[in-house]
Amino acid sequence: MPCRRPHDLPPELHGLPDRAELHALGMPRHWRGEIDDLLLETRRLPGMRMLRIYVPAPELRGEQPLPLLLVNDGHKAFEPSNHARVAPWQQSGTLQLHRLMDGLLCAGTVRPAIVVAIGTHAGSRADQYVPVRTQHGATDFGGGGDIYLDVLQHEVLPAVERRLRTLALSTAAADRVLCGASIGGVSALYGALVRPEVFGGAIALSPSAWIDDGFLLRLVQQRGIASPRIAADIGASERTPIRDHCRDLFAALRTASGGRALAAEVDGSHNEDSWRARLPRLLQHVFGSN
């Protein structure tokens, strides 16, 4: 892939696919961003939240205030659990957002951005990501989505701003983008739809648009969308009912945005490796170079 600053790739990377996260492995170390961990005790929801914060390297950071990408299911955002035992170019099972951002920054196809991966509690994940109380089979879930957005707005954002007080962070709503996959993608889209003055964009990978028989679709039809920084996709190999719900939702998103939202069916399936391959296109839509 083309680079703003040419550099050589190590021999072990030759012949690998031309992908941002693989390209990042060959970048000089001082061009790569760093990840800082912050343990946050939230007041609105029980338990601690691990915040993992990616900050671009100073060499690629630029002079403009930095936008923020807030990522649900934070344990899947960066390196996989086997990262110490498997060669970096063979690692799988996570989004590898630190490497994706490094590689895309090297290519100059996205603006520098802070990535905040927000830890979740597996037992209450669906309750906190889905704003409506609903049912799937014999399981009831959901109803806490607005409280979770309160945590992001009133606790996570201030905590990140305190932690990164030496950096200039953008406070523009358009530069606060939510990101999630599957049920986490529901939360991301919902936040951008109902709080556009706070979260002005969303990335949703394989969002669970089927929840409550399409409540997100009804929400778009009722409210419209306030920002073109909406990017979503669904894999063509995913189950037909899921794709059908996403197809209807995506059509509504494109219509409500005057064609400016990016929402489409693409090659792929419902897992982190597929989502990682699809993310650059979505990141470029919401953080494209100005």
Output the average pLDDT for the chain.
Answer: 93
For range 245-257, the mean pLDDT: 97
For range 21-36, the mean pLDDT: 91
pLDDT of residue 94: 96
Distance separating alpha carbons of residues 184 and 95, to the nearest angstrom: 13
Bridge partners, 53 (sequence order): 36, 116
Domains and CATH numbers, the chain: 11-287 (3.40.50.1820)
Residue 89 pLDDT grade (very low, low, confident, very high; cuts 50, 70, 90): confident
Q: Above pLDDT 70, what percent of the chain?
A: 99
- Asked if residue 269 has pLDDT above 90, the reply is yes
pLDDT of residue 171: 95
pLDDT of residue 290: 54
pLDDT of residue 226: 85
Residue 51 pLDDT grade (very low, low, confident, very high; cuts 50, 70, 90): very high
Distance separating alpha carbons of residues 93 and 275, to the nearest angstrom: 10
The token pair at 174 is: 């358009």
- Cα dist from 264 to 47, 119, 259, whole Å: 36, 28, 12
Question: pLDDT (tens digit, 9 = 90+) per residue, 135-177?
Answer: 887 789 899 999 999 999 999 999 999 999 999 999 999 999 9
- Asked if residue 1 has pLDDT above 90, the reply is no
- Asked if residue 55 has pLDDT above 90, the reply is yes
Residue 78 pLDDT grade (very low, low, confident, very high; cuts 50, 70, 90): very high
pLDDT of residue 215: 96
- Among 131-145, 152-166, 195-209, 233-247, where is mean pLDDT lowest? 131-145
